Amino acid sequence: MLGLMQDWPMLCHRVIDHAGLYHGGREIVSRSVEGPIHRTNYKEVRERSLQMAKRLEKDGIKVGDRMATMAWNTWRHLEAWFGITGVGAIYHTLNPRLFPDQIAWIMNDAEDRFLFVDITFMPLIEKIAPMVPSLEKVIVFTDAAHMPETALPNVVAYEDWLAEVDSDFEWLELDEKTAAGMCYTSGTTGDPKGVVYSHRSNILHSYMAVQPDMMNLGSSDRMMPVVPFFHANGWGTAFSCPMVGAGMVMPGPGMDGQSIYELLSEERVTVTAAVPTVWLSLLQHLDKSGGDLPDLKSVIIGGSAAPRSMIKAFKEKYDVDVLHAWGMTEMSPIGTICSLKPEYAALEGDQRYDILTKQGHPPFGVEMKITDDDNKPIDWDGKSFGRLKVRGPAVASSYYKNRGAEQFDERGWFDTGDVAYMDQYGYMQITDRSKDVIKSGGEWISSIDLENLAVGHPEVAEAAVIGVHHPKWDERPLLIIVKKDGANPSKESILQFMDGKIAKWWMPDDVIFVSEIPHTATGKILKTKLREQLKDYKLPGAA
Ligand code: AMP
């Protein structure tokens, strides 16, 4: 017997309907790309999304068409996502920090028909557009007065283009499994792989994300997604905030410490989210210029491991809770968040920070397991690590065009490529990417643990650890340091700082200082490049 409940497809635009109707006055504040702060609300965003959908339909955009966006987080980008999904088309976010050839490759792979772009990126698009034959139109997120000069054909100002129709439109009724969004993974090797979100996965992911033990979002919150929409589905914030009617504060192009601080304090942001490097620049700004964060309750940090020193600084200097999160583009992206369950809630001091530095526990809807190389489960004993595998309704079942099929098994488990352990209460801790873990004498050393420890040194700005060849042990850790401005730590002082905090055999064999560590387009340490740069390096005594 089947249940007798209504078949109400989970469609993305239903979220903006809900926000517009029941939380209509809630503010959406953006630092506009043109400069001034812009204010709107969910009622207006809903209307303009409907107008956008109608305008797309007028241009002949159909279910399944790919619509690229290369834009900062602003109200226009938000309404574009809803307008696009509202006609059954697919928003396809492009990361402007990739090389032009890579972006062109991705656009050609996706066969994007339209591109929505901020004025900031016009010079880049002038290089890329001629390489993408499927591209029919470039719509610049601005008005006629701010349109840049360009020799590209078929370029229009968004506001003028939109104004050609009204908002009298009915969303398309779609199957909830219809594709809604697309984001290519920032693969450090091989071609990028397309992840394709459905309407259903986006909605289910939002239900997971807003729960009290996850992002803990509600209508009294003012959420600032500093994480760009073009990183890993914008961490789902474009759907989770309107789902609960949380106000949104959008940083636009202002990603530096001072601009972020201005919005956090002047717009009374209660929850915010971004990668560690953003928070490093905010904390440095606050150290230099002073300031406090009385309205901010929590900072969600993910994308790379949040160092313990950062979690402590937020709590002890500003009374802000860090929620350490782990996820992947392939997971929409949330996998785990580190809120404290009752088993850990009473811990204090260092023991509490020991838990808060873990990546946390999954919501209902994300299943996880840790296995050895033969797919045998590993105990959740808080120390034995292995391959982390996941499944769930907002986890990819394959990549676009079936690339990378070996990462998915027949029972639906996706091999994340991360190495992790679980403790008895289901808290996961990442120890490495499987290709970055250091294999020393048959045992594994976590490069992430060493990096986190090293950045706790007061004179270290950034640290990276790679395994380098050793004749006896196979590989040994090499620590690479960027010094803080004006500081001059010695190799000995760094090793002394680490001594006693990790097993002796984990201690790096050498420390070298560099002016810069290479990063990927999403801000992760680019270890392939570091290994390439240091390929002739020889460990002391290992020649
Ligand atoms: P992306 O799909 O670009 O977001 O990258 C996902 C990868 O980032 C994961 O597979 C992890 O290797 C890494 N990652 C994300 N969050 C964390 C975290 N909190 N700690 C350590 N690594 C992380």
Give a three-class secondary structure readout of 219-242.
CCCEEEECCCCCCHHHHHHHHHHH
The number of residues making up the chain comes to: 543
Residues near ligand 1 with C-beta < 6 Å? Answer: 185-186, 232, 302-305, 324-329, 333, 359, 416-418, 430, 433, 522
CB distance 434 to 455 below 8 Å? no
Q: Which residues contact residue 89 at a Cβ distance below 8 angstroms, ignoring those fewer than 6 apart?
A: 56, 61, 62, 63, 64, 65, 66, 67
Q: What is the pLDDT of residue 273?
A: 98
From 40, 69, 142, 185, active-site residue: 185
Q: What is the pLDDT of residue 258?
A: 97
Q: What is the pLDDT of residue 189?
A: 58
The radius of gyration of the chain from alpha carbons, rounded to an integer in Å, stands at 23
CB distance 26 to 245 below 8 Å? yes
Q: How far is the CA of 334 from the centre of ligand 1 (A)?
A: 10
| φ, ψ at 40 (rounded to 5°) | -145, -165
Q: What is the pLDDT of residue 187?
A: 58
Which residues in the chain come in under a pLDDT of 50?
Answer: none
Q: How far is the CA of 235 from the centre of ligand 1 (A)?
A: 12
Ligand 1, atom 5, residue with closest C-alpha? 328
Q: How far is the CA of 327 from the centre of ligand 1 (A)?
A: 6
Please tell me the number of Cα atoms within 13 Å of 329 on its side-chain side: 26
Instruction: Give CA separation, 198 vs 12, 241, 368, 370, 536, in Å.
Output: 9, 18, 21, 27, 46
DSSP code at position 138: E
Q: What is the pLDDT of residue 543?
A: 57
67/137 Cα distance (integer angstroms):
10
Q: What is the pLDDT of residue 238?
A: 98
185 among known catalytic residues:
yes
Q: Which of 227, 326, 415 to mutate to test the pocket of ligand 1 (most atoms within 8 A of CB)?
A: 326
Q: What is the pLDDT of residue 188?
A: 54
Ligand 1, atom 9, residue with closest C-alpha? 328
pLDDT tens digits, one per residue of 449-503: 899 999 999 999 999 999 998 888 888 999 999 999 899 999 999 999 999 998 8
Q: How far is the CA of 36 from the centre of ligand 1 (A)?
A: 34
444 among known catalytic residues:
yes
DSSP string for 405-427: GGGB-TTS-EEEEEEEEE-TTS-
Q: Which residue has the tokens 């409907």?
A: 50
Q: What is the pLDDT of residue 190?
A: 67
- Report long-range pairs for 123-132 (Cβ below 8 Å, ≥24 apart): 124/70, 124/96, 124/100, 125/70, 125/152, 126/150, 126/151, 126/152, 127/100, 128/100, 128/103, 128/104, 131/100, 131/101, 131/104, 132/104, 132/107, 132/108
* Domains defined along the chain, listed by start: 12-23+36-198+233-239 (3.40.50.12780), 366-433 (2.30.38.10), 438-533 (3.30.300.30)
